[in-house]
Amino acid sequence: MSLPFPASPYLSGNFAPILMECDAHDLPVTGVLPRALHGTLYRNGPNPQFAPRDPYYHWFIGDGMVHAFHIEDGRVRYRNRWVRTNKFKRERAAGRALFGSWGNPATTDASVAGEENGVANTNIVWHAGRLLALEEADLPVELDAGNLSTRGDCTFGGKLSGAMTAHPKTDPVTGEMVFFAYAADGRFTPGIRYGVVNGEGRLTRLEHFEAPFSSMIHDFMVTSRHVLFPVLPLTGSMARATRGEPAYSWEPQLGAHIGIMPHHGDAAQIRWFRGEACYVFHVMNAWEDGSRILADVMQYDAPPLFNPNASGPGSRARLCRWTFDLDAGTDTFQRTWLDDMPGEFPRIDDRFATLPYRHGYFASRQQEEALPGSYDTLVHLDLGTGRRSVHALPQGDAISEPVFVPRTPDGPEGDGWLLATVFRGNEQRSDLVVYEAGDISRGPIAAAHLSHRVPFGFHGNWRPAQ
């Protein structure tokens, strides 16, 4: 008999886990799903199997559960499965949690000391014929794209032995998947690994360097020629973890450090740019313009979820453009706010990743009192015209990160649909919704109805039908 989950904001409401895995053959649909929409939307998020061992629970550490919506001929088939990580399997066999938060040795059961504790809960990407569940502190986990069964850790033929970011970038021209990992030399170390997987799925490069300090680096920036590593002062410390304190802490006095490396260069060529402290979980896009590198990021004054003292507007992210001039002879960079609407989960038409782009999409939260991770408004920014479009959801509903799907493989940027899950608060269940990406203010053109909740999660991606 497993124990009840304790009272915690991130174990309540639609943050609470669902306890079942299921299949739904043909979901009821309202509206009309475009016939050209043919493929699968995968979404990933934390869904803890058992009540945590530590007295506090952090949203980021729940076991990954993948939700797949297969769309074909106007119909939707659904399946959800936990990722069978080592942690999941060991705890299922024991009937209770065995691992401490963030691998904390002080709260981990002796029977699993030193074992892999990845949760594979953050993103799910399709690259070179592999479906990978990603979480930034551990190896990718490969799933079967059809039945979601777990195939096991993906080491790229034994070449990768440590973590990979949950936010690799795929170059739409070369098909290369570029990634990094922080804490590359062990938990809370300043080592950073950089790697490239080519379009055929072979790991072709690994580089290693030291950041100025150990920090949580959730996402990074990639242009057609450079890679940018944002080292921001949300620092990690094993000493804090073993004292029973939160391992990650906000230390703004350390400032922001952005390392810029040529794609095909090596660590010795990294140039560090410096600025005032801020935090970024997510990058919308980055690209080159002559000697300049531009990056649009969702910037916080201070990180939410890690800093109990953070509150007010500074604890909410807004879209900010960072400009670095490689020829200006300076180690500073410019920041310009692009929009005053708070937001998270920025996405683009991924065919324009690493390239100049025009259309950005994100989730926004109008209600100040709502927890970070819960969003009630969908936003589209046309950065060409400066026009902002929004769709505010009905009271009590909440929307996930939007995923863009092009109408045709080579159509213009932004011509397609946005797919998201929506939690229907009054009905305690979720929908898959489809918007016309160029006209979100009219609301979804179609919705497929689940009878259960998809708990608030992180990221998803589309895999077009083969």
- Size (the chain), residues: 466
In whole angstroms, how large is the CA radius of gyration of the chain?
21
Reduced to 3 states (helix: H, G, I; strand: E, B; else coil), residue 93 is helix
**391 closest CA partner among 441, 356, 427, 433:** 441
459 annotated binding-site participant: yes
Cβ contacts of residue 386 below 8 Å, gap of 6+? none
127 annotated binding-site participant: no
**What does the angle CA 64 – CA 70 – CA 75 come to, to the nearest 5 degrees?**
140
Helix (H) / strand (E) element for 462: namely: strand 460-464
User: Tokens at residue 262, please?
Assistant: 């040529």
Cα(256)–Cα(242) distance, rounded to whole angstroms?
26
Beta 177-182 vs 191-197: how paired, if at all? antiparallel
Tokens 């709502």, residue located: 370
Residue type at 201? G
Could you tell me which residues are beta bridge partners of residue 431? 422, 449
Instruction: Return the DSSP state at 101.
Output: G
58 annotated binding-site participant: no
Cα(162)–Cα(78) distance, rounded to whole angstroms?
32
- CA 383, 388, 391, 392: dihedral to nearest 10 degrees? 120
| CB neighbours of residue 135 within 10 Å | 27
**Residues flagged as binding site:** 167, 218, 282, 459
List the binding residues for Fe cation. 167, 218, 282, 459
